Amino acid sequence: MEIPTLRDVFHARATIAPYFPRTPLTYSAALSEYLHAEVYLKHEEHLPLGAFKARGGINLLAGMSAEERARGVITASSGNHGQSIASACRMFGARALIGLPVDANPNKVASMEALGAQLIFHGANFDEAREHCERLAQEEGYRYVHPVNEPALIAGVATASLEIIEDLPDVEVMLLPIGGGSGVSGACVVADAMGPNIQVVAVQSEAAPAAYLSWQQGQLVAAPMQTWVEGTATAVGYELPQQIIRHRLHDFLLVSDDDIKRAVALLVEKAHTLAEGAGATALAGAVRHPEMVRGKKVSITITGANITLAQLRDCINVYLGD
């Protein structure tokens, strides 16, 4: 697996551009006052699938051979990556098979079904679904798409960070959530090449710290996964993103699941922005670690808005209960 370069990210942008426009980067006066920083929100939830992963799926499928598409494409997902692959397969005429944990987000499940994907429910979490899909790919000959260890996926999602730096060249801190690591590693590729003074900071739930521990220890680590935030719910570190972030990531923050719930509600109240748990995780990092952003020009990436009503109600109740 080759680490994608800035050239790969620019190529991905050209590939993706015909399918949807740039997402807005907007200044938030209320959050800036709240955090004592100059805060800009990158609204990836505005994409057609409601999440940043849509970028990677198009870039990957566009580069596949006709033979690969004809075999059928199989992947595992907690939801947003699966929507991305299902949508891209529909665009490029490939059969999509998506492995999901049995308690997958019902909104995301409905979206994948509507996109024509064949859904395979297996296991209690993302990694159990992923392992099952890997077995099926070997047995049935499908083109397996690793949810993270795919350079084309990382280059595709990195286009969001490229847009941030183009729109805000003097950004000092870029905060992003991390699960498997495609978004954060893509940001590191872009920031490392375009702005040596830009600090990329990853934020993860302490209830699923595998990526953090892998980064901290310099080797792939498994850890208990008990978070409600499906977009960050990974139980192991992944090779390619860890290879990228090991020497390029400025810092890695952990937050509680309740921190994330409060951040979901805070985005609604202060920024009139709807985010799923993973989409609010970067903001949770800024709130819990204010010294990271105080007095600085900061981008906070809202990676997605695919939250259920039950989850949203729970987040608001936690926020109002403080």
**What type of residue is 256?**
S
Exposure pattern of 287-322 as b/e (b: 16+ CB <10 Å)?
bbbeebbeeebbbbbbbbbbbeeebbebbbebbeee
286 pLDDT band, cuts 50/70/90, is very high
Rg (CA), the chain: 18
Give the residue among 120, 157, 152, 125 at the shortest CA–CA distance from 137: 120
The tokens describing 169, both together, are: 């060249």
Please give the average per-residue pLDDT across 308-316, as a whole number: 97
pLDDT greater than 80 at residue 322: no
Please give the average per-residue pLDDT across 105-130, as a whole number: 92
Please give the average per-residue pLDDT across 284-297, as a whole number: 98
The confidence score (pLDDT) of residue 125 equals: 87
Please state which CATH number belongs to domain 54-145: 3.40.50.1100
Please give the average per-residue pLDDT across 305-315, as a whole number: 96
Please give the average per-residue pLDDT across 3-31, as a whole number: 97
What are the strands of the beta sheet with 73-76, ordered from one edge?
A: 118-121, 96-100, 73-76, 143-145
199 pLDDT band, cuts 50/70/90, is very high
The confidence score (pLDDT) of residue 158 equals: 98
Please give the average per-residue pLDDT across 75-91, as a whole number: 92
The confidence score (pLDDT) of residue 269 equals: 98
What's this model's pTM, rounded to 2 decimal places?
Answer: 0.94
Spell out the domain ranges in the chain: 6-53+151-321, 54-145
User: Is 92:57 a contact under the CB 8 Å cutoff?
Assistant: no
The confidence score (pLDDT) of residue 282 equals: 98
35-68 per-position pLDDT tens digit: 999 999 999 999 989 999 999 999 999 999 999 9
What is the chain's length? 322
Instruction: Give me the percent of the chain exceeding a pLDDT of 90.
Output: 92
195 pLDDT band, cuts 50/70/90, is confident
The confidence score (pLDDT) of residue 305 equals: 96
The confidence score (pLDDT) of residue 255 equals: 98
The confidence score (pLDDT) of residue 52 equals: 96
The confidence score (pLDDT) of residue 1 equals: 78
Is domain 6-53+151-321 in CATH 3.40.50.1100, yes or no?
yes
Least confident of 73-87, 243-257, 275-289: 73-87
Please give the average per-residue pLDDT across 64-73, as a whole number: 95
The span from the CA of 4 to the CA of 27, in Å, is 30
23-36 per-position pLDDT tens digit: 999 999 999 999 99
The confidence score (pLDDT) of residue 178 equals: 98
148-182 per-position pLDDT tens digit: 999 999 999 999 999 999 999 999 999 999 999 99
The confidence score (pLDDT) of residue 126 equals: 84
**What type of residue is 182?**
S
